[in-house]
Amino acid sequence: MTETYHNYVDGEWVAAETGETFENRNPADRSDVVGEFQQSGVEDAERAVEAAAAASDEWADTPGPERGAILRATSQALEARKDELTETLVREEGKARPEAAGEVQRAIDIFSYYGAKASDIGGTVKSSSSRDTTLYTVNEPVGVAGLITPWNYPIAIPAWKIAPALATGTTVVFKPASAAPNVARKLVECLDEAGLPDGALNFVTGPGRSVGKTFTTHEAVDAVSFTGSSAVGNTVGEQANETGKRVQLEMGGKNPVVVMDSADVDAAVDIAASGAFGVTGQACTATSRAIVHEDVYDEFVSGVVEAAEAIEVGPGLDGADMGPQVNQSELDSTLEYVDVGQSEGATLETGGNAVDVGDGFFVEPAVFSDVEPDMRIAQEEIFGPVLAVLPVSSYEEALDVANGVPYGLSASIVTQDLTEAHDFVAESESGVVKVNEKTTGLELHVPFGGMKDSSSETYREQGDAGLDFYTLSKTVYLNY
């Protein structure tokens, strides 16, 4: 029998006022119903916001070390349930098991990290130009934060938004993506188990047009943090700006790896293939373009085709290397881009076909060669396992091509030339720049965010920067 799961509002698990639910199914096996979740409406979202607002003062007044203890206890609860959470994530989102386990560990580490940071949240003391005066700053919580998260990292991204918010004393209303809400729900269970006060965190499932829009427009919400597509993110930003909210948007990417003639080609192939086909290409930092010097182009294409063809596609729970796309829409979009690439004149070297593995949304990893910079497959975010390989004749051309897209999230260069490496770091129009590493993969204690259409370019996430979004600075002049 399918289990029905509830919203979490003011410390209680409650059904939606709408009386409606939606099914969530395993993308690797459509006959497997993960559960039924609340199809919440505006009234449900408003109730959550009101609970967060009512709890705001008490949570803000809770000492930082006490808040940190709750976050550390959450980390421990997640650790105790790691195997369960990993299987849940694979079952509802489709990742390969090692990828899912790594994501769960990331959430564990994030709560541990911000649990420690909560004790250090404070201000700074400055020297005053006046005698007998102490001049200092105090950091105070922003109030209520509305968090809207995507399906592709359904526990890691909620963790890196929720943990710093709670660490600062900010209360939260949280809407997960409907394609993968169950592992997020279990994260909320762990926070409840850790002793989080009623109302400090509220979890509501349902559509963006009702729940998400309420969170971005309600007068009691002070800040909105969104991760997802650029199209939706721009709408969220407009709605939040109309009501004067603090806004943090992290959106799409068209991330390049530049492979220069001095590169170790085997290493470059590993870097590109891992970045392009890991997590089924369903990452905002996934490698979507390989910009390769003509002297090593043929060797690189041959190597990356071989790497793509060696990937076993199938259910993550069965040990496959690459799982399905999350739903039919995402699969259809990837297949459409494969058709677009061929119609534009690029050469499909391998892959790009739907794979008949049980009842799931599987596709072969695809590699295109002979790609021109203005082709759609070289300009638009695909969000599937498709790598476009573009030839260039110089470093200067490679840099121009790498920067010649609307996005600017993550970029990498593979080279043994220090001048090229340092210049790329300086000139890349990306928020994350890597040398001899894949475009995916992030350290949790340093800032993360994009440029151009990849971000609102307001506040970064993770590390100390992750705390800045949820705090307001007050300057104090104390004349004694």
What's residue 442's pLDDT? 95
Q: For 37, phi and psi rounded to 5 degrees?
A: -125, 160
Dump pLDDT digits (tens) for 279-327: 999 999 999 999 999 999 999 999 999 999 999 999 999 999 999 999 9
What DSSP line would sit under 159-227, residue for residue? HHHHHHHHHHT-EEEEE--TTS-HHHHHHHHHHHHTTPPTTSEEE--S-IIIIIHHHHH-TT--EEEEE
What's residue 1's pLDDT? 78
- Catalytic residues, by residue number, are 250
Dump pLDDT digits (tens) for 83-131: 999 999 999 999 999 999 999 999 999 999 999 999 999 999 999 999 9
Q: Does the model's pTM come out above 0.85? A: yes
- 148 with 83: CB under 8 angstroms? no
Residue 297 CA to residue 257 CA, distance in Å, equals 13
Which DSSP helix (H) or strand (E) runs through 303? helix 297-309
What's residue 394's pLDDT? 98
In the chain, the largest separation of any two C-alpha atoms, in whole Å, equals: 78
pLDDT averaged over 10-residue windows placed end to end, the chain, 480 residues:
95 98 97 97 98 98 98 98 98 97 98 97 94 96 98 98 98 98 98 98 97 98 96 95 95 97 98 98 98 98 98 96 97 98 98 94 98 98 98 98 98 98 98 98 96 96 96 96
Strands (E), 251-384: 255-259, 287-293, 347-350, 354-355, 362-363, 366-369
Nearest residue to 317 via CA among 3, 80, 93, 81: 93
Strand partners, 355: 362
Mind listing the domains of the chain with CATH numbers? 7-251+455-479 (3.40.605.10), 255-435 (3.40.309.10)
